Amino acid sequence: MSTKHAAWFRTVAIAEAISWTGLLIGMLFKYVLSDNEIGVKIFGPIHGGIFIAYVITVLVVRGPLRWPWPVTLAALAASIPPLFTWFFEIWAVRTGRIDAAQQTPVPSTT
């Protein structure tokens, strides 16, 4: 399993969830609290870019991470509901689809 690909996927998945959160907060202010759309203007394009990066990342890392199509489709579907990329990332770590452990060399004692 490629640690580099797993780390990249985890980073993009969490960034996508964070950008969704920012966009949701912006939408709350725009449509519910104050009619101020600055949050949507800021987080809309950020989320859109990270969303596209997430979809591309899933398609790129599926081979090195040896994901079958059902796992790949679940990862892609996770990009639609808010925060599900983060939930998918947690599930993927727990089920061994990505390795959360960092491959750090252990110094020899001899």
Q: How confident is the model at residue 2 (pLDDT cuts 50, 70, 90)?
A: confident
Q: How many CB atoms lie within 10 A of CB 30?
A: 16
Q: What is the pLDDT of residues 8-63, one digit of tens each?
A: 999 999 999 999 999 999 999 989 988 888 889 999 999 999 999 999 999 999 99
Angle between helix 69-77 and helix 38-61 axes, rounded to 10 deg: 180
CA–CA separation, 1 and 4 (whole Å)? 9
pTM for this entry: 0.83
